A and B are shown apart, each in its own frame.
Chain A
């Protein structure tokens, strides 16, 4: 089994061929926006981070930007900095280059103002867009594929239809030699023992530590997680406790052995099923997985979440037929057919797997067709 992708010089394989313009700091958001308005073929992201950050929080922010920019779905990157930021733009560009990515960097203060920076940015981005045209797709083995899995706007059908169907597709990806990321640690609380049973002791210990961290945070705040997760929408959909949500969530990752636990936005080093430390917040999770190298994401939803990544196709699987019909434009696969009795879990699993292969080959799922470009970095410390 193969997919058609862009073979990058560093050995990774992209499924899209984007030119990315990213600010190293929020002060450069205006400049990247102007570059993006002029060059609509370029992908521009904006964010409110990159300054007055310290320690692990700063490291995570920088790792996320570097990983995102070096995702093989990106052919080349322009970093735009201000000049006095914590996340120094040249150091970020150096980090991106060290991952084998083509990168250019400009600064607003160094360029004597925003107008010059925008002009220079348009020049460099235009050149990178022209260069990117020479890339062609070639067959690649699944050992080059990292599939991110996610559920958002869950309901009680998530754990009965869409998540188990996605799990079947995830098992196929692993059987073909690929990697599958299972994330959103708060939504593993209460189900972690089922994953630990399928992992080595060292990996199980890391997993339990991540879960303990989430529960310690709730304890430090003196709150019941249920006030925020399950969300009001989850509760309206019939989910009662975080354990119930988690027990349905873990099906997404399939049934193979858990091989590794990685940090937020960290690239897996092993193939097979991997857990990434992300929050349950949809866009931070999505950004973390894509920064960790995921080229394709499958996202299940019961309430109807339209989210998409700026650089990776996100395939939407509805958990019930009602939402699939009502939000047809935002959804790709209907797993509600399992409850209707018209399809089996295996059949929907096959359908999701085919979508993954086709999306890798260039087919655009709804979120990409509609140009959803959600981007958010998970912060783990305060701004100073």
Chain B
């Protein structure tokens, strides 16, 4: 677990490609955690996630060092990471239904 110097973001595992905002982040707020240095490209609400690394469409999103979902579009470092660009891989009865009718 690594906290940024200013205490604003927390990366729960060194494997993670995202971090959690412990405070609201303004646009252009600097994010420095471990050896990553990026700036927020949009405002990040408290408790929400920000990309630390380049995440390609289809890449797994890792939190606590574990898979929490998959990117539905490319996500640049500093971007807000949430339901608009990440989907879950589990409990996806909708996908099962799609397969059944295909």
Contacts and interface: CB of A to CB of B under 8 A. Distances in A.
Q: Do A and B come from one complex?
A: yes
Interface of A: 155-157, 159-160, 186, 189-191, 194, 214-215, 217-226, 229, 235, 237-238, 240-244, 247-248, 302, 320, 339, 341
Contacts of B45: 238
A339 B22 contact: yes
B86 A240 contact: yes
A202 to B, nearest CB: 23
B102 interface: no
Contacts of B90: 189-190, 215, 225, 241-243
A160 B91 contact: no
The interface centre, meaning the residue of A215, A220, A244, A339 with most chain B CB atoms within 10 A of its CB, is A244
A190 B68 contact: yes
Nearest to B98: A222
A244 B68 CA distance: 5
Given A243-B67, A247-B68, A156 B47 contact: yes
Which has the most chain B C-beta neighbours within 10 Å: A218, A235, A320, A341? A218
Nearest to B91: A225
Nearest to B94: A224
Given A191-B66, A238-B20, A240-B82, A214 B47 contact: no
A11 B17 CA distance: 52
B47 A247 contact: no
Interface in B1-58: 7, 10, 12, 20, 22, 45-49
A220 B86 contact: no
Nearest to B100: A222
Contacts of B61: 240
B73 interface: no
B94 to A, nearest CB: 4
A156 to B, nearest CB: 4
Contacts of A157: 47
* Closest 6 pairs between A and B when the two form their complex, measured CB to CB: A225-B91, A222-B97, A218-B93, A241-B88, A238-B47, A219-B96
A244 B69 contact: yes
A220 B96 CA distance: 8
A215 B86 CA distance: 19
Contacts of A302: 47
Interface in B76-102: 81-83, 86-97, 100
Contacts of B93: 215, 217-225
